[in-house]
Chain A
Amino acid sequence: MMSQQIKQEEVAQFALDEAKRLGCNDVSVLCAKSNDSQVRFANNDITLVNNVRNITLEVYLSKGKKRIVGSSFNPTEDGIKRFLGNLVRSCEALPVSEDYVPLPVGPFRYKSHANFDPNVEDAPLVELVRQAIDEAGRAGALRASGSLNTEVTDLFMITSASAQGADKQTQILLNIRAFADDNSSGQGLSCASYVNEFHPDRAGRKAGEYAKKSLGSKLVNEGKYDIVFSPTVVSNILPVASSASAFAIESGNSFLVDKLGNKVAVDKLGVEDQGVYDRGLGGRVFDDEGMPTGTNEIVLHGSFLTMLHNSSTAKKFGKEKSTGNAGIIFPRPATIVFNEGDVSLDEMIRETGDGLFVTNNWYTRFQNMQSGDYSTVPRDAAFRIEDGELGQPVAGFRLSDSIPRQLLNIEMISNEREWIKWWEVSTPTLAPYMMIKDVGVTRAVGS
């Protein structure tokens, strides 16, 4: 196992056998081989080419109902023995876990694989970056910054409860920010698992167009506004799926505490977690306990229907089994899918009449995670909506609101959706545009 041709199956099996030899009752081993490439650029120039190749192990152990997790970057036999020896010694010293549940018993049948395109690994990143920068320039930008990333992940999973599977996925992700001047910028994203669904030119053009349109921005007055949010913002400011994690709820750090079965949003809202969305972005066919992933309707017709579980949290909340969302400690969504609505973006803007259009945001922080009180800062292009059309570009404001209030004030959902994954949105999300009524807007004092 010392050569570069490390076979994940052998590594994972070796780790499983070694852990069992050390007396562990439950063992799950995930061996991941990753090849991540990146081209970063700023001011129309490439600033870095990056390539990281790792083979890593994620291990969960229980011994006498004591539980521990570990990760190691040393896949050699000696390295695994040392790592597991330390892990088991630490596990033995822990108190018995009240939350212990045996691993789900396999074997399981999994989907053949997640979204995988062998062409991603050899994609001509520098050339694709040039396309994006050139398009941004043609659309009116003076300069552009961003990064193009490809991720090729090859997983092998084996558990002491007879679950075993392999999974491959690819992602190709562009985030381009174009500037028409220092105060006027626009963002474009292209996020795909397949090269032929990846469109750096469109992302560059969109970023450039937004940048040009946002020249001459003005401040807005504080108050309540009807706001049209882009899919990028929707993915960030409506954290329904992550808040549905049983861990977040049990910790008190979710606005969905005590809301299961209750109405939490307008009828037209639906949010799903999907293990693998066909021809979507990334995904996993099994979770960290070896359970097959599937579709979980988190919010349907505005009601909170499904909490996301691993085996341990499922038991705690009186469920028969996990929802296939382990994280050994934190259940988590694999792919987040907002349902589509029935209006186009143009119609949404027209019907909003008077309001704001926010294309991007960052730095979302909570004053109170259980009440959902938060604020976030719009960035890049934003506009007044005046008489049903995009009007004056605006800047320098902040959204200050509450998630539960927003969910109950969604007025329109678009019939077009986009895949989102970038710096502020780490889980692949398929999101529409949304218009939310009466969103709080504040701004700073001072020049």
Chain B
Amino acid sequence: MVSLDFDLVSYAVDLAGQNHCEYSEARIQRTTDVTCFTRNGESEPAAISDAEGIGVRVISDGALAFGATNIVSKESVKSLVDRLVRNAKLAAEFTREKIHFSDEESHREKWEVQEKKKLEDVSVQSLISFLKELDSLLSPPISGITFPNRNLIIWTNIEEKYYENSDGSKLESRVPRVEYLGILTAFYEGRPKTISIPPGYSGLGGTGGWEVIEKFNLNEELPRQLMEITNGIKASKAPPKDETLDIILGPNVAGLTSHESCGHPGEADRILGREGAQAGESFLKPDKLGMQIGSEEAYVSDDPTIPNSMGYYLYDDEGVKARKRKLISGGRFTEFLQNRASASFFHVKSNGSSRAMQFDREPIIRMGNTFIEPGDWKFDEMLKETKKGVYIKNFMEWNIDDKRLNQRYVGLESYLIENGELKDAIKDPVLEITTPKYWGSIDARADDLQYTCGTCGKGDPMQGAPVFFGAPHIRLRNVRVGAR
């Protein structure tokens, strides 16, 4: 592998300085992706992508400009920086609120995620063999259910970066990632049903080498999950209609809620309106830090520093050291996700939330690994103490409005709860609830925190960020269940 041209990065930052920019940063980045997938056990063409280039961002006269090129030459970078400075000065004439970055400590660091079994040594042949073996385990019918469509994917990604900014930060990093996903169609009594394993169109994986996938023991885990989901596939009993009762959510569903209705509305750029026409704004306003949004049992955090997590990083793409952020504590919003521009507005320090997914994308505020903090309940205790309710173990359909107030999750494998016991499986129960009602209804958190992988979409142009969603089982009291 050819090494990245660090000198070009320094050159870009120096050039911006010579052009009297208030701030500049440059990032040379190589992203190597290998995607293999099988349909019904047959391999489709593998796809290999090798993206490398340099992205530069400057603040000049209080205006922000970003640009990138994959022509990594001095000539090209000079042309790029000149263009950015011109663009920023042009924009500055029409910018009333000048953009400032918070003052932050500079860092010089080299960090990387270790691989016991290097992903670049895993051949496409072995990736496809791996998928074929999984497919053979997922293809047999289970008690009258057939699986005529099986689409399995394995994705590896190696992200190498060198970053400098005009504050003196110099950061070199290497992050390998690997993820498995699978979407199937199940047929039962002539009816098709889309399922994914894991459910919710989510994946299993993380940062590190092939050992990350091995530890999931997918040969046993996926058939086990599929077997459980069959209860949801066969279910024909309608959920209680518009009844108010208790709901226990499995980690698969609850994890996503932490991302959608806490992480996203807590992104400071959305709160300030910067994503207004695309990913949307937030029901939170700048003065709502400390606002009581939920019950005293509501605790949500985001932590990019969890080893081997999918959203792992140690420094963000503005050179700020990453740390855990406690977003909701005891039902109060206690911290927003900040980059250096929003931190300057809020008169705080950035908490290292700025991420760029490719060399040619601007860094924006993103989550890392968002999760509901575990409590001290056991799932069995939670169940036992629920007289009448619904257990939504996992889901498929979901969405939320662009202010993050009105959300919906439709169960895949779900059951009635009566007198502390799981009863009949039910079909497609719908939890459609406002964000304050949701966080305000939590009365119990189990100790069984689990994570799944997802790709978070945000930005314009769109950037898909690899993240973890996490949660233990949680219980909501006195909420409505609907039906599709």
Contact = CB atoms under 8 A, between A and B. Distances in A.
Interface in A347-391: 362-371, 373-377, 379
Interface stretch (A80-88, A159-167, A296-304, A427-435): A80-88
Interface stretch (B110-118, B275-283, B381-389): B275-283
Contacts of A398: 399, 406, 408, 432
Given A4-B71, A370-B192, A375 B123 contact: no
A415 interface: no
Nearest to A402: B484
B43 A95 contact: yes
A444 B276 contact: no
A93 B121 CA distance: 13
Nearest to A127: B94
Interface string A62-105: 00000111111111000000110011001101110111000000
A49 B39 contact: no
A46 B95 contact: yes
Interface in B59-79: 63-71, 73, 75-76, 79
B47 A329 contact: yes
A143 B280 CA distance: 14
Contacts of B48: 68-71, 86-87, 90
A370 B191 CA distance: 9
Interface stretch (A107-115, A173-181, A236-244): A173-181
B194 A368 contact: yes
A367 B412 CA distance: 9
Given A42-B273, A68-B45, A375-B399, A93 B94 contact: no
Nearest to A446: B437
A93 B50 contact: no
Interface residues of A, number: 91
B479 interface: yes
B400 interface: yes
Nearest to A257: B192
Chain B: number of interface residues, binned into ranges: 35 or more
B436 A51 contact: no
B354 to A, nearest CB: 13
Contacts of B124: 68, 90, 93-94
A250 B150 CA distance: 10
Interface string B121-165: 001110010000000000000000000110100000000000000
Contacts of B70: 54-56, 73-75
Interface string A1-40: 0111010000000000000000000000000000010111
B193 interface: yes
Contact of B479 (A69, A82, A445): A445
Contacts of B185: 252-253, 369-370
A396 interface: yes
B69 A42 contact: no
Contacts of B151: 251-253
B398 A73 contact: no
Contacts of A373: 397, 484
B69 A52 contact: yes
A130 interface: yes
Given A49-B65, A74-B52, A375 B397 contact: yes
A414 B407 CA distance: 32
Interface string B19-48: 000000000000000100001001111111
Interface in A114-164: 126, 129-130, 143, 145-147
A160 to B, nearest CB: 16
B280 A379 contact: yes
Contacts of A43: 97, 272-273, 276
Contacts of A175: 277-278
B480 A445 contact: yes
B49 A71 contact: yes
Contact of B401 (A38, A55, A328, A379): A379
A52 B97 contact: no
Nearest to B402: A379
B192 A252 contact: yes
B410 A446 contact: no
Given A67-B45, A379-B280, A398-B406, A445 B437 contact: yes
A354 to B, nearest CB: 24
B356 to A, nearest CB: 12
B47 A68 contact: yes
B360 interface: yes
B406 A250 contact: no
B38 to A, nearest CB: 10
Contacts of A182: 281, 285
B166 interface: no
Contacts of A329: 44-45, 47
B396 A368 contact: yes
Contacts of B149: 250-253
Interface string B347-360: 00000000000001
A447 B272 CA distance: 23
Nearest to A378: B401
B65 A376 contact: no
- Most chain A beta carbons < 10 A, residue from B91, B280, B437, B482: B91
A400 interface: yes
B433 A4 contact: no
A353 to B, nearest CB: 28
A82 B2 contact: yes
A443 interface: yes
A374 B397 contact: yes
Interface stretch (B81-89, B205-213, B220-228, B368-376): B81-89
Contacts of A97: 43, 45
A62 B482 CA distance: 51
A262 interface: no
B99 interface: yes
B1 to A, nearest CB: 9
B443 interface: no
B276 A94 contact: no
Contacts of B281: 182
Contact of B49 (A6, A70, A177, A400): A70
B64 A48 contact: yes
A48 B402 contact: no
Given A40-B460, A130-B94, A50 B399 contact: no
Contacts of A60: 45
A51 B87 contact: yes
A342 interface: no
Contacts of B360: 52, 54
A42 B480 contact: no
- Most chain B beta carbons < 10 A, residue from A40, A99, A443: A40
B277 A145 contact: yes
Given A95-B128, A447-B437, A50 B66 contact: yes
A98 B45 CA distance: 11
21 contacts: A40-B460, A43-B273, A46-B95, A47-B64, A48-B91, A49-B91, A70-B49, A82-B2, A93-B124, A94-B43, A95-B128, A99-B42, A146-B276, A252-B149, A252-B151, A363-B401, A365-B397, A374-B397, A377-B401, A400-B484, A446-B437
Given A3-B73, A95-B43, 13 more contacts: A6-B71, A49-B63, A51-B80, A53-B67, A53-B69, A145-B275, A365-B398, A366-B396, A366-B397, A373-B484, A442-B430, A444-B433, A445-B433
